[in-house]
A = this chain, B = another copy of it.
Amino acid sequence: MPREITAYSNPLIKWVRDLRDKRHRKQARQFLAEGLRILTEAKETGRLPTLLFFAKPSADHPLVRQLVRAVELAGGEAIETTPDILSKLSGKDNPQAVVGVFEELGTTLDMLDRSSSGIWLVAERLRDPGNLGTILRTGDAVGAGGLILVGECVDPFSVEAVRASMGALFTVPIVKTEWQPFLDWLRQGPGQLVGLSLDTETDYRSAHYAAPTFLLTGNEAQGMPADYAAACDVLVKIPMLGKADSLNAAVATAVMAYEVLAQQGRGKTA
């Protein structure tokens, strides 16, 4: 039976609202996700929030009732609150029907099985939460084994990244690491590292992408450092005919990933 919280001054509400702040999120190792569609998708992949907030007007929605039941069965807590508080938790004027608090999984490189997919996404110093979420969504679509974040990347558990991922945050494993540990891990097994670069003559369509391929995307403004590029097995470029000098990082990653998918033959009949 869900308890009810209607006071904005309630300490739990304050604690949850603070999860919008990166520092607080890092300490708590929990993050916010919102919306019936995304939380239901999370449930289907076996991920349930530890805390689930919903507002009275949505209490009888069948998907909300299913979520409440599942959360309570799993030992989490469902909390009925007001639309106003829900709106403050989500930071939006038109709040979603539900807001959930999830535990970070803390996946590490050692937990990845590189034979589980032919495509892996690697991003270094990615700065934009929208790009990160969009890359996760692409990762889900191409069946990527995971997204490996190298160096100082934007927090994948920020509200903006979670939103842009449209639920892919729950389906694509995420590892946060640094360059050297990543490279050490990579070289312990099969896998080619493919870097996206402006300084190569190799067209991305002419390279061969054996499984598993690790696609490395550099920082939005600067691309990748020279020593990262030197460590790649192959550097490829996407042709650009225009006057601007680069594609959006999430777009470039997707164009590459779909070429790998097509070459590996899994995209043909899907």
Interface positions of A (Cβ within 8 A of B): 41, 44-45, 130, 134, 137-143, 164, 166-168, 171-172, 203, 205, 238-244, 246-248, 250-251, 254-255, 258, 261-262, 266-270
Contacts and interface: CB of A to CB of B under 8 A. Distances in A.
A130 B268 CA distance: 30
B243 A140 contact: yes
A244 B166 contact: yes
Indicate how many identical chains form the complex. Answer: 2
Contacts of A138: 247-248, 251
A190 B139 CA distance: 37
B45 A243 contact: yes
9 contacts: A44-B243, A130-B130, A143-B241, A143-B242, A171-B244, A239-B270, A241-B261, A250-B250, A255-B258
A270 B255 contact: no
Contact of A141 (B130, B137, B247, B258): B247
Nearest to A258: B255
Contacts of A262: 205
A246 to B, nearest CB: 8
